[in-house]
Amino acid sequence: MRILVANPNTTAAVTERMLAVGRAAAAVGTELVGHTAPRGVPYVSSRAEAQIAGAVLLETLAETATGFDAVIVAAFGDPGLFAARELFDVPVVGYSEAALLTALMLGRRFSVVTFAQALEPWYAETIEAHGLAGRSAGVRCADRSFSSIEAVGAEMEDHLVELARRAVEEDGADVVVLGGAPLAGLAGRVKHRIPVPCVDAMVAAVKQAEAIATLAPVAPTAGRFARPRGKPSSGLPPALADRIAGR
């Protein structure tokens, strides 16, 4: 089983970290292939950046997503997820989607804990977009600066644990999702310091990708994710233009 880990951020080190965490969680026979966005921002943290990153993701998938059994949109917030699900035949799962769905099995209400205030509105809208607001206890964000996106998980470890505990005590969370691609692997390190189950989004993403790849679903020809009919375009990268044209 081959799974594409498509990072819509431009930071290769984060892709590497996700791959390392993902490979440790993958089943025997699951191969993870990483891809880092060729343009955009180092880490997406707003709706405007997600709008752009999602469009770049479509270009990426048009160019690279053949020969895979599933694709992971490897950024919390799932930029371009529904568009990709509509446009490509391969099953696609979102990084936050996977984490939130997995969290549902571990408690009644989940909280997302992450490393930057700017992420709150986008993450909150992501939860709403998945129709899961009724099971959310909210998003808790760190309120301090960090030296680099690669180091943020290590630097903030204690602070994020503290936020997770407050999500449990003050917000009523039954399960905590550590959100944001740079935090991949953190949940495993800190889970014994938090009094409720803790979900690592990358682990969840790999297992959910394996789940949908195992089902090997047909590409829909009806419903809300049926492939749109081919259409001309102008000014788009050739592979994406071809895909939109239905070629």
Burial class (CB in 10 A: 0-12, 13-18, 19+), 11: buried
d(CA 149, CA 163): 19
Q: Is 148 in the site for its own copies (CB under 8 A)?
A: no
**Across-strand partners of 114?**
141
Q: List the one residue from 12, 13, 33, 106 that touches its own copies (CB under 8 A).
A: 106
d(CA 90, CA 213): 9
Tell me the closest approach of the beta carbon of residue 103 to its own copies, in angstroms: 10
Q: Is 192 in the site for its own copies (CB under 8 A)?
A: yes
Do 152 and 183 form a contact (C-beta atoms < 8 A)?
Answer: yes
Of 112 and 240, nearer to its own copies (C-beta) is 240
Interface of this chain with its own copies, residues 206 to 225, rule: CB under 8 A: 207-208, 210-212, 214-215, 217-218, 220-225
Interface mask toward its own copies for 18-47; x: CB under 8 A = -------x-xxx--------xxxxx--xxx
Of 159 and 207, nearer to its own copies (C-beta) is 207
Rg (CA), the chain: 17
Q: Is 147 in the site for its own copies (CB under 8 A)?
A: no
Q: List the one residue from 67, 147, 234, 247 that touches its own copies (CB under 8 A).
A: 234
Collapsed DSSP state (helix, strand, coil) of residue 232: coil
